[in-house]
A and B are shown apart, each in its own frame.
Chain A
Amino acid sequence: MSLLLTLALLGLTVGSLYALFAVSFGVIYNVTHIFHLAHGAVIGTAGYVIFFLAAKLGWPVWLAILAAVPVAAALGAAIELAFYRPLRRRDAPHVAFFLTSVGILIVAEGLFGTIFGPGVMAYGFLPLAPVPLGPTTLPNANLAMLAAWAFVALAVAYVLATRTGRFMRAVADTPGVAATVGVDLDRTYLVSFLLGSALTVPGVVLYAWTQGLTPLSGLNVLLVASAAVVIGGRTGLLSGAIAALGLGIVQAVALVFLPSGWQDAVVFSLLFLVIALRPDGVFGRTFRW
């Protein structure tokens, strides 16, 4: 199988994982318009909780994962209630939200490093194994990443089919008008944080299966996820997911032509160009969730 195709296939799997994170970040960003860097803290917390329960306490893996969901959701909600909401009440400028988010992320990294140390915590309870696929081989974890789409679908279904989901779409589009017609903005924001934070759990499991966890993992994931959301266009979940998929493929395939160190430059140049030339994202306003 040609190198290009193999790498494209790999990129497809990695891109699927990025898509899930893009959706988890996008749910929050699209609705609240806050560049929630502290989402990295939630991702890290979910990952470390699962590690602690499964590797240190010996819980069954599925139970540890399930237990992490309410923890992550609660943390995201807590950040919104304790920090963002008071800032919103005072009409604070974007700077304030961003710096608060960064501060929370730093605190989380410090905590993770203090409790678990700065090294890699491997998910030994999720063994890595090769899966032969005809002429090529893929790690089992990468194949599992395709399952990410199930969660993406869940999120999209929620937003399309439920009443709260409709409110979220309304608020994402025009918060002012939504408020006027009686949508409870605060409650809608809270739901976004709950949903987005809960979605980090399946994502971090798929991520740490291959890469383990370090205090910096949350941030590394977040940068790509947020890049995808901005590139895709901020009005829809699917646009972010598709952009993420594209990024994953481009990043992998780029290795055929460029040394790996330039991958960062490629991804973020792309992000910058999209922002500068098409601030509404590649899909602009045409995607509607």
Chain B
Amino acid sequence: MTNYLTQISIFISVYLLLAISQNLVLGFGGLFSIAQAALYGVGAYTAALLVLRLHAPFPLDLVGAFVLSCAIGAVLAGLLVRLRADLIIIATLALQLVFSAVFRNWNAVTGGSYGTYGIPRPTIFGAPLAGLAPFAVYAALVALVAFAAALAVARSPFGLAVRGQREDAVLAEALGHHAARERTLMFVLAAGIAGIGGAVYAQFVGYVDPSSFDVNQSLSIITIVVVGGLGNLWGTLGAAVILTFLPQLLLLIPATSNAAAQLQLLLYGVILVAIVRFWPNGLIPEQPSVRAPRRPRPVSVVNAAAEAQALDRLDAVAIERLASPAPTVRLENLAKSFGGVRAVAGVSFAIEPGCVTALIGPNGAGKTTLFNLTCGLLRPDEGRVFFGVRETTHAPQYEVARLGVTRTFQDVRIFPRLTALENLVFALSTAAYAPKGGLRERAFATLVSLGLDDHADEPADRLSYAQQKLLMMGIVFARADPIVFLDEIAAGLDHHSVHAFARLVRRLAASGRTVCLVEHNLGFVWEAADTVMVLDAGGIIATGPPAAIQADARVVEIYFGQGSTLVRP
């Protein structure tokens, strides 16, 4: 009996390694890869060949498997990471099938359908691991080391960064993270772990053949991870144990009829569909990587008065004065077309520090496009962008962000499955101008100043609209960047809130910062702005202080039609 269980435990160790790999790439990285079995196979064949052909001693076979799997993972990631989610599924499916075909046909290297056999057990410190128990210990150790490493990565700032880009890659880049590179690193790490799993398998069974590394296997691994919970490593551990053990128990029933075996298949499919239908987050949900320093107070019912109180806090939030004035942002002859549509046509202006500049104009005028061009989300067809003396025309978002720019998006845009605290820590990790000190402490302090500290460990998508808006502003405060771009920050706000936000924006400018708004809410604009620029059909048609713009006939015309006049209430 002990031998029986010991052998099962070895398979648990191997499947755990594979499941960790899958969870890292899918649960954390958000990349739906069906190719982990292929990387598992790469590791297995590599270890086998290193030992059989090159007589590599332990641990070179393990290391070699890790290295080659990482290398191949790096090549694949380069091709995969920029693809849309649904295409990644198909692309990795294609990859898995290609690898399976290579394993089956590259006779000279893999032995083709004969497989490669006679792989000896590793010799560690002079003793070959011939017995079952010693090998089980070895396998468990390898799996535990990988598990601990994965846990460390999950809790690290890198882990948080990867989870953020999984939620919203564009937002992640706007907050200074190189999303594609982070995804690639995670994919490579996952590939390496799968490779180690393959090496351990090869060392144990002593025989590798293509049937163990096919699409079936990839789907098994995904099942383990989905059942255990994506983004939750402890769930993966539990699922790996259960799902390896369960079929063994099934084997205890003599399979006397073929129909019985087919029925098992059927039930497996039913279970899979049921789990996805009813527990889409797996049995155990994702856990945050950073937690609030103190326990939250019980949250009372949210009512209008409490919300109003929260907004009033904005007046009390400290905004540090800048030591030296912020740079001027200059746009020169910016132009951008989409297909036949000229969205921005030769726009030039400067956004000065210490004052609030507002961009207004009817829908389709090109305001958000201008923002996107300036902050690096889009590349201009013509023209240049300067932040102070530094040209950033072709710089991507994350480079611009690291120069000291905080940019918000239309409507509320935060990382829904990260907690409020995690959202801020994420944003702070690339902030060049934030005061030194613990990221978690500064993030939590910001939440306190906004009255959101009791929600610190809640996923951000559970906050109310107003709370999420405050969280967005929290990012602005915490990063303390000298340049702030706010896209329709006043959208959806009531009268009371509009005043509070207007005061806030003016205080930001007064601290020496360069502040630029895109707005539809004209009342907000008249209150908050020093300079107003009016955009229509991709070009600026008027510039000036609010009073002048309100009186400008051309402006009234583009908003309300010819012959209209603004009647002041």
Contact = CB atoms under 8 A, between A and B. Distances in A.
Nearest to B263: A114
A117 interface: yes
Given A268-B97, A268-B101, A276 B265 contact: no
B102 A114 contact: no
Interface stretch (A50-58, A93-101, A125-133, A240-248): A93-101
A98 B223 CA distance: 12
Interface in A83-97: 83, 86-87, 90, 92-96
Interface string B418-443: 00000000000000000000000000
A259 interface: yes
Nearest to A90: B280
B77 to A, nearest CB: 11
A114 B101 contact: no
A118 B262 contact: yes
Contacts of B226: 95, 99
Contacts of A223: 97
Interface stretch (B64-72, B266-274, B305-313, B506-514): B266-274
Interface stretch (A104-112, A151-159, A160-168): A104-112
A106 to B, nearest CB: 3
Interface in B256-284: 258-259, 262-273, 276-277, 280
A92 to B, nearest CB: 6
B90 A265 contact: no
A222 to B, nearest CB: 11
Contacts of A124: none
Interface centre among A86, A106, A262, by most chain B C-beta atoms within 10 angstroms, is A106
A139 interface: no
Interface in A69-89: 83, 86-87
Contacts of A262: 101, 105
B84 interface: yes
B45 to A, nearest CB: 16
**Per DSSP, are chain A's interface residues mostly helix, strand or loop, or mixed?**
helix
Nearest to B273: A103
Contacts of A109: 265, 269
Contacts of B268: 106, 110
A269 interface: yes
B285 to A, nearest CB: 14
A268 B100 CA distance: 11
Contact of A275 (B91, B97, B269): B91
Contacts of B79: 272, 276
Contacts of A95: 26, 32, 226, 230
A275 B280 contact: no
B83 interface: yes
Given A98-B32, A105-B269, A259 B105 contact: yes
A279 B259 CA distance: 43
Contact of B97 (A33, A118, A261, A264): A264
Contacts of B271: 103
Contact of A107 (B95, B101, B266, B280): B266
B269 A106 contact: yes
B259 A114 contact: yes
A35 B263 contact: no
Contact of B272 (A103, A226, A269, A275): A103
Contacts of A108: 269
B242 interface: no
Contacts of B273: 83, 99-100, 103-104, 107
A64 interface: no
Given A114-B262, A264-B98, A268-B98, A86 B277 contact: yes
Contact of A99 (B95, B102, B272): B272
Nearest to B104: A261
A102 interface: yes
B25 interface: no
Interface in B74-89: 79-80, 83-87, 89
B222 interface: yes
Given A103-B273, A114-B262, A275-B83, A35 B89 contact: yes
A107 B263 CA distance: 9
Contacts of A110: 262-269
A198 interface: no
A65 interface: no
Contact of A100 (B80, B91, B105, B277): B277
A102 B91 contact: no
B272 A98 contact: no
A16 B95 CA distance: 25
Contacts of B84: 279
A264 B106 CA distance: 13
A230 interface: yes
A87 B277 CA distance: 8
A113 interface: yes
Contacts of A227: 94
Nearest to A259: B105
A271 interface: yes
B219 interface: yes
A265 B258 contact: no
Interface in B33-85: 79-80, 83-85
A104 B269 contact: yes
A103 to B, nearest CB: 4
B218 to A, nearest CB: 11
B209 to A, nearest CB: 14
B101 A94 contact: no
A271 B84 CA distance: 15
Contacts of B266: 106-107, 110-111, 114
Nearest to B99: A265
Contacts of A264: 97-98, 100-101
Contacts of A230: 87, 90
Contacts of A279: 83-84, 87
Nearest to B223: A99
A272 B83 contact: no
A113 B91 contact: no
A107 B265 CA distance: 7
B152 to A, nearest CB: 25
Of B32, B85, B265, B270, the most chain A CB neighbours within 10 A belong to: B265
Interface string A27-61: 00000010100000000000000000000000000
Contacts of A103: 269-273, 276
Contacts of B97: 223, 264-265, 268
Interface in A221-266: 223, 226-227, 230, 259, 261-262, 264-265
Given A99-B272, A104-B273, A94 B90 contact: no
B296 to A, nearest CB: 27
B32 A106 contact: no
A223 B94 CA distance: 9
Nearest to A112: B262
Given A105-B269, A110-B262, A110-B269, 7 more contacts: A92-B280, A96-B276, A103-B270, A110-B267, A268-B94, A268-B95, A272-B91
* Ranked 6 nearest A-B pairs via Cβ: A110-B266, A106-B269, A103-B273, A107-B269, A103-B272, A110-B265
21 contacts: A83-B277, A92-B280, A93-B85, A94-B85, A94-B89, A98-B89, A99-B226, A99-B272, A99-B273, A103-B269, A103-B271, A103-B273, A110-B264, A111-B266, A113-B265, A118-B258, A262-B105, A265-B101, A276-B79, A276-B80, A276-B83
Interface of A: 33, 35, 83, 86-87, 90, 92-96, 98-100, 102-111, 113-114, 117-118, 223, 226-227, 230, 259, 261-262, 264-265, 268-269, 271-272, 275-276, 279
